[in-house]
Amino acid sequence: AKLAAARYGKDNIRLYKVERDEATKTHTVYEMTVCVLLEGEIDVSYTKADNSVVVATDSMKNTTYIMAKQNPVHPPELFASILGTHFVNTYKHIHTAHITIVQHRWTRMTIDGKPHPHSFFRDGNEKRLVQADIIEGKGIEIKSGISDLLVLKSTGSEFHHFVRDEFTTLPEVWDRILSTSVDANWKWSTFAGLDAVKKHVAKFDETWAKAREITFRLFALEESPSVQNTMYKMGEQILAAQPMVQAVDYSLPNKHYFEIDLSWHHGLKNTGKDAEVYAPQSDPNGLIKCTVTRD
Ligand SMILES: O=c1[nH]c(=O)c2nn[nH]c2[nH]1
């Protein structure tokens, strides 16, 4: 047998950092979960029980906290690039670092119409994601994203003219509820190294905000003929918004809400245009995926 592939590290490194602005007494907080996976000349630790090549995963956890103390942790694309570059530069036998960051939401409270200096709330399960691969001799490959952004519209969604055969029972619909949990990511053109990431650092927050706004806007405004068509348009608009983005992925579950026929109860109308009470379905769910790239 032979070792075909190997990478190892520490997963679920939970990290919080506060930035204190002494002048305004305003705090800004960041919370994230980090995964570090390293690749390189580490085969003998698997094949020969030779641990001389092993940077302990505990040391990777320690390093993550030290780098967070000594460097900015926002935007997550920058911190991931700093962290990964550290490992590749520090250990000559490590040639690739895969850094994943899942950033959680702490949104500043507004109290008496004013942003509060040090109070925040978790407004939703939505996360901001970064996957950065720091590859010695190649550069830094970054995928940014959003996940678990749960949305619903109560109309403005249709689905008809699909295949009808002996397997089909789904009725055609011209007015339906549409709900999904947005997983979207956008792949940046490869950065030459950490300096290039720093040069373009403003683009990461900008593009995250733009991707989020495009998603909300198209979801709300489109008279959606299908999940497929609406997500394709979202991908097109993100590409148009940021020339440095080379590809956009969407993965959208279709979270169904079924009509409930109550006509057995004294003819109570609750279907079609009279539908008001629905049964939200936890499973099964549609799952629609796409990748949109440049021509
Ligand atoms: O938007 C939709 N796309 C589909 O492919 C599908 N299949 N059932 N319902 C659906 N809705």
Q: What integer is the mean pLDDT of 59-66?
A: 98
- Distance from residue 253's CA to the centre of ligand 1 (Å): 10
Q: What integer is the mean pLDDT of 100-110?
A: 98
Q: What integer is the mean pLDDT of 12-41?
A: 98
Quickly state the pLDDT bin for 226 (edges 50, 70, 90): very high
Q: What ipTM does this complex have? A: 0.97
Locate the ligand 1 atom nearest the alpha carbon of residue 157 and give its number.
1
Active-site annotation holds for 10:
yes
At CA 217, angle to CA 212 and CA 221, rounded to 5?
160
Over the chain, what is the mean pLDDT?
A: 98
Give yes or no for a cis peptide into 284 (omega within 30° of 0). yes
The verdict on the CB of residue 131 being under 6 Å from ligand 1 is: no
Q: What integer is the mean pLDDT of 60-88?
A: 98
Place of tokens 């901001």: 128
Q: Whole-structure pTM over 0.80, yes or no?
A: yes
Task: Check 27, 57, 74, 104 and give the catalytic one.
Answer: 57
The verdict on the CB of residue 226 being under 6 Å from ligand 1 is: yes
What phi, psi does 177 have (nearest 5°)? Answer: -75, 140
Q: What integer is the mean pLDDT of 55-68?
A: 98
Active-site annotation holds for 57:
yes
Three-class DSSP labels, 206-273: HHHHHHHHHHHHHHHHCCECCHHHHHHHHHHHHHHHCCCEEEEEEEEEECCEEECCCCCCCCCCCCHH
Mutate to test the pocket of ligand 1, among 159, 163, 168 (most ligand atoms within 8 A of CB): 159
Per-residue pLDDT of 32-44, as tens digits, reads 999 999 999 999 9
Determine the longest span between alpha carbons in the chain, in angstroms: 78
Q: What local confidence, expressed as pLDDT, does residue 19 receive?
A: 98
